[in-house]
């Protein structure tokens, strides 16, 4: 504990014993404690990251082959392709950040637990069971394009279970941020990560709700109806908007929250305009609403949306780009403002002493900006095609492997790097130990470098060879793919992407290994309450905080109490921005 924070903290209050949760395995099964639920989400979603990357590797190896489907046959290609997206988005990206949010947000807002703790636990177990059923459905030859009809139905039911479970968890996080903040911590003083979690949770609620309605129709149609939507081959075109941009921007908003948390801690300074911080993150979430980009539906009434689709897409990417670049500019300016500021102590995180969390956060933020920019360019090109100008008969980019490149950039690049930053940053708070910096940097390089290759390969292939990403509704995928791959030489670019995924896979394996060694085998260094000199309220608590509800809660009126304490010496009143101004007004 720093002197500043000691002085800053109000005295008094009871510090009695806290009731412990059941430490046995049964305790993990029936827990309603946000710390355990968060850890469960994090651990299981990392396993899905491995599974998704392996499946992606099979798909890319298949595309890289000069002969037809050497790794997968035509049917299994469709199934492994769709499973890759399911595993990486619903198995890894959303639940990983949901788990981090369930753990961290209550600590950040001064709540004793996540709202509706039992519902949060139900969210995890529902997600896990649904994910297991989903895998089972694929194994049983179900999934989009699957030959086993009941397996396809099971896949749709599992998908509905995943959506409902994740929606439940998202609602718990959103309600925690909105209604369980400590008295006096107004919304414009909320820590950045808690705000980003609120934005994502809110946008998940409105966007995943749409897909739930779609799944109901697809299930009834496939199980009972005349197959007027294309049966098992008509499923993917109606739900794949969940796995592509702009919807992917919603899933990575928490990454922006992580970036803001770490950069502001490195600057030891609050942004000059807090509302801009919240506004820019909200903008990314708002413009990431992907249900508008649902080509499967809009194609059924093409003349309704004639030309509108292109404008909407350009607008969505432009809005997301404005949000991301605005936020990064704001954080960059804050870092520049603090360039000459002396560090309070040697352990503090800063740009001059970068660690894994800082570099990974910097990389993740940059990759989101790149994804938004590239997306805007692609949407502009497609808009010209839709509007009938500049068309040369080429396939729109959104139907080519350009989309795979975007997915790689946001899921592998921004998502995994953001997760790496968050895990290294909050590991002391989650497990009470630091993760290995050596393994951290190695995984950072692998994930970052691999993601760039995984992006470049399919993106270039999409632009120059028009290699289709997925041939909607066509059972004879083999022929179509083979003609594209063999004739155009796209296999070389696909191989480049495959190499990228191999490197990403190594990086993810290193993260898992790092967690096993540092946390499970207890090789990581034990830490004090605030090892980084963080700004936000969770660093007031012991590392890790005790399980179960706290006997007493922190009195907070700001999202940056430790910065307030450092700057004005009287601690937990006033926003960081106000304290910053106060400090600057005092003559030297």
Partner 1 sequence: MSDTTGTVEAPQPGRYSVPGPPPRPRSQLVGTGFAIAAGAMAVAGALGHYMARRHASGIDPGHDWLAGQSVPNPQLVYALITLLVSVVTAHWAVWASGRDERGHTWVGMALTLVMGLAFFNMVMFSLNRMELEIGSGEWATLAYAVTGLSLAILIVGMFYLGLMTLRSLGGSVGRDRSTPLGAAVFFWDFAVLAWAATWYVVYVVK
Stretch 212-241 residues interacting with partner 1 (CB under 8 A): 212-214, 216-217, 219-221, 224-226, 228, 238
What whole-number distance in Å separates Cα of residue 526 and Cα of residue 520?
A: 13
Q: How many CB atoms lie within 10 A of CB 411?
A: 27
Count Cβ atoms within 10 A of the Cβ of residue 437 and give its class: 0-12 exposed, 13-18 middle, 19 or more buried.
Answer: middle
Residues 6 or more apart whose CB falls under 8 angstroms from that of 11 comprise none
Phi/psi at 434 (5° precision): -80, 150
By CB under 8 A, is residue 10 in contact with partner 1? Answer: yes
Task: Tell the residue number behind the tokens 């992580």, with chain if given.
Answer: 258
Contact positions with partner 1 (CB under 8 A) in 381-440: 431-432
- Measured from the CB atom, the residue of 273 and 526 that comes closer to partner 1 is 526
- Measured from the CB atom, the residue of 209 and 332 that comes closer to partner 1 is 209
- Measured from the CB atom, the residue of 23 and 388 that comes closer to partner 1 is 23
DSSP state of 433: B
Among 116, 148, 399, 441, binds partner 1 (CB under 8 A): 116
Size of the site for partner 1 (CB under 8 A): 83
Stretch near partner 1 under the rule CB under 8 A, chosen from 201-209, 307-315, 487-495, 497-505: 201-209
Among 322, 343, 546, 581, binds partner 1 (CB under 8 A): 546
Instruction: Report, in Å, the least distance between residue 463 CB and partner 1.
Output: 31
Contact positions with partner 1 (CB under 8 A) in 439-498: none
What whole-number distance in Å separates Cα of residue 5 and Cα of residue 562?
A: 6
Among 82, 247, 436, 543, binds partner 1 (CB under 8 A): 543
Instruction: Report, in Å, the least distance between residue 178 CB and partner 1.
Output: 5
Cα dist. 105→37, 196, 198 in Å? Answer: 13, 10, 9
Instruction: Report, in Å, the least distance between residue 410 CB and partner 1.
Output: 23
- Measured from the CB atom, the residue of 132 and 542 that comes closer to partner 1 is 542
Instruction: Report, in Å, the least distance between residue 99 CB and partner 1.
Output: 15
Report the phi/psi class of residue 320: left, alpha or beta, with left for phi > 0 and alpha for psi in -120 to 50.
alpha
HSE-up (13 A, CA, CB side) for residue 466: 10
Instruction: Report, in Å, the least distance between residue 466 CB and partner 1.
Output: 28
Among 276, 297, 312, 517, binds partner 1 (CB under 8 A): 297
- Measured from the CB atom, the residue of 25 and 586 that comes closer to partner 1 is 25
Among 101, 133, 210, 511, binds partner 1 (CB under 8 A): 210
Residues 6 or more apart whose CB falls under 8 angstroms from that of 99 comprise 37, 38, 39, 40, 41, 42, 45
By CB under 8 A, is residue 329 in contact with partner 1? Answer: no
Q: Are 262 and 108 in contact (CB under 8 A)?
A: no
Among 3, 6, 464, 483, binds partner 1 (CB under 8 A): 6
Phi/psi at 468 (5° precision): -70, 140
By CB under 8 A, is residue 521 in contact with partner 1? Answer: no
Cα dist. 126→31, 41, 98, 122, 473 in Å? Answer: 14, 11, 14, 6, 30
Stretch near partner 1 under the rule CB under 8 A, chosen from 45-53, 104-112, 400-408, 460-468: 104-112
3-state secondary structure 516-533: HHHHHCCCCCECCCCCCC
Q: Are 360 and 444 in contact (CB under 8 A)?
A: yes
DSSP state of 182: P
Tokens of 121: 């636990």
b (16+ CB within 10 A) / e for 247-271: bbbbbbbbbbbbbbbbbbbbbbbbb
Stretch near partner 1 under the rule CB under 8 A, chosen from 18-26, 479-487, 492-500, 505-513: 18-26
- Measured from the CB atom, the residue of 303 and 584 that comes closer to partner 1 is 303
Instruction: Report, in Å, the least distance between residue 200 CB and partner 1.
Output: 13
By CB under 8 A, is residue 520 in contact with partner 1? Answer: no
By CB under 8 A, is residue 150 in contact with partner 1? Answer: no
Stretch near partner 1 under the rule CB under 8 A, chosen from 140-148, 280-288, 388-396, 525-533: 525-533
- Return the CA Rg of the chain: 24
Among 147, 344, 473, 549, binds partner 1 (CB under 8 A): 549
Instruction: Report, in Å, the least distance between residue 298 CB and partner 1.
Output: 8
Among 132, 332, 390, 542, binds partner 1 (CB under 8 A): 542
3-state secondary structure 264-289: HHHHCCCCCCHHHHHHHHHHHHHHCC
Contact positions with partner 1 (CB under 8 A) in 66-85: none
Instruction: Report, in Å, the least distance between residue 171 CB and partner 1.
Output: 4
Instruction: Report, in Å, the least distance between residue 40 CB and partner 1.
Output: 12
By CB under 8 A, is residue 26 in contact with partner 1? Answer: no
By CB under 8 A, is residue 207 in contact with partner 1? Answer: yes
Q: Are 435 and 357 in contact (CB under 8 A)?
A: no
- Measured from the CB atom, the residue of 66 and 570 that comes closer to partner 1 is 570
Stretch near partner 1 under the rule CB under 8 A, chosen from 127-135, 209-217, 248-256, 328-336: 209-217
Among 26, 67, 301, 388, binds partner 1 (CB under 8 A): 301
Angle 356-386/417-431 helices, nearest 10 degrees?
Answer: 140
- Measured from the CB atom, the residue of 327 and 562 that comes closer to partner 1 is 562
Among 128, 167, 367, 504, binds partner 1 (CB under 8 A): 167
Query: Cα 478–156–201 angle (5° rounding)?
Result: 110
What whole-number distance in Å separates Cα of residue 235 and Cα of residue 238?
A: 6
By CB under 8 A, is residue 555 in contact with partner 1? Answer: yes
Contact positions with partner 1 (CB under 8 A) in 29-58: none
- Measured from the CB atom, the residue of 12 and 342 that comes closer to partner 1 is 12
């Amino acid at each position: 504990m720093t002197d500043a924070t000691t002085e800053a903290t109000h005295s008094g209050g009871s510090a009695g014993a806290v009731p412990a949760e059941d430490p046995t395995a049964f305790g993990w099964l029936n827990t309603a404690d946000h710390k355990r639920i968060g850890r469960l989400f994090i651990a299981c979603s990392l396993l899905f990251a491995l599974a998704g990357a392996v499946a992606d590797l099979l798909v890319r190896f298949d595309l890289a082959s000069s002969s037809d489907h050497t790794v997968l046959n035509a049917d299994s290609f469709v199934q492994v392709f769709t499973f890759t997206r399911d595993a990486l988005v619903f198995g890894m990206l959303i639940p990983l950040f949901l788990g981090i949010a369930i753990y961290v947000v209550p600590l950040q807002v001064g709540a004793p637990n996540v709202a509706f703790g039992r519902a949060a636990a139900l969210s995890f177990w529902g997600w896990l069971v649904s994910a297991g059923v989903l895998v089972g459905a694929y194994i049983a030859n179900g999934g989009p394009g699957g030959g086993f009809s009941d397996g396809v139905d099971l896949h749709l039911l599992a998908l509905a279970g995943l959506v409902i479970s994740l929606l439940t968890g998202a609602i718990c996080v959103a309600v925690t941020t909105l209604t369980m903040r400590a008295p006096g911590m107004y919304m414009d003083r909320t820590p950045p990560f808690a705000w980003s979690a609120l934005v994502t949770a809110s946008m998940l609620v409105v966007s995943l709700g749409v897909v739930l309605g779609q799944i109901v129709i697809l299930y009834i149609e496939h199980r009972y109806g005349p197959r007027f939507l294309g049966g098992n081959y008509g499923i993917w075109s109606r739900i794949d908007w969940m796995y592509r941009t702009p919807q992917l921007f919603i899933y990575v908003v928490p990454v922006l929250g992580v970036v803001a948390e770490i950069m502001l801690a490195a600057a030891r300074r609050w942004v000059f305009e807090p509302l801009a911080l919240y506004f820019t993150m909200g903008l990314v979430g708002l413009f990431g609403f992907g249900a508008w980009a649902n080509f499967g539906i809009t194609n059924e009434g093409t003349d309704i949306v004639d030309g509108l689709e292109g404008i909407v897409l350009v607008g969505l990417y432009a809005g997301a780009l404005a949000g991301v670049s605005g936020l990064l500019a704001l954080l960059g300016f804050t870092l520049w403002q603090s360039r000459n500021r002396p560090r309070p102590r040697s352990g503090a995180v800063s740009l001059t002493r970068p660690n894994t969390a800082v570099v990974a956060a910097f990389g993740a933020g940059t990759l989101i900006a790149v994804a938004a920019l590239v997306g805007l360019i692609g949407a502009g090109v497609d808009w010209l095609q839709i509007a009938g100008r500049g068309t040369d008969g080429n396939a729109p980019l959104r139907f080519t492997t350009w989309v795979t490149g975007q997915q790689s950039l946001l899921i592998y690049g921004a998502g995994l790097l953001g997760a790496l930053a968050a895990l290294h940053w909050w590991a002391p708070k989650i497990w009470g130990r630091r993760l290995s910096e050596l393994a951290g940097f190695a995984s950072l390089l692998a994930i970052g470098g691999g993601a760039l290759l995984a992006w470049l390969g399919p993106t270039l292939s999409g632009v120059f060879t028009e290699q289709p990403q997925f041939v909607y509704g066509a059972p004879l995928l083999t022929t179509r793919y083979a003609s594209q791959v063999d004739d155009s030489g796209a296999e070389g670019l696909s191989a480049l992407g495959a190499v990228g995924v191999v490197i990403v896979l190594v990086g993810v394996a290193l993260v898992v290994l790092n967690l096993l060694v540092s946390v499970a085998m207890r090789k990581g260094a034990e830490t004090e309450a605030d090892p980084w000199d963080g700004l936000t309220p969770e660093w007031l608590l012991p590392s890790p905080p005790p399980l179960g509800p706290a006997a007493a809660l922190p009195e907070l009126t700001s999202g940056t109490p430790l910065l307030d304490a450092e700057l004005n010496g009287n601690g937990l009143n006033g926003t960081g921005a106000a304290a910053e101004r106060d400090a600057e007004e005092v003559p030297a």
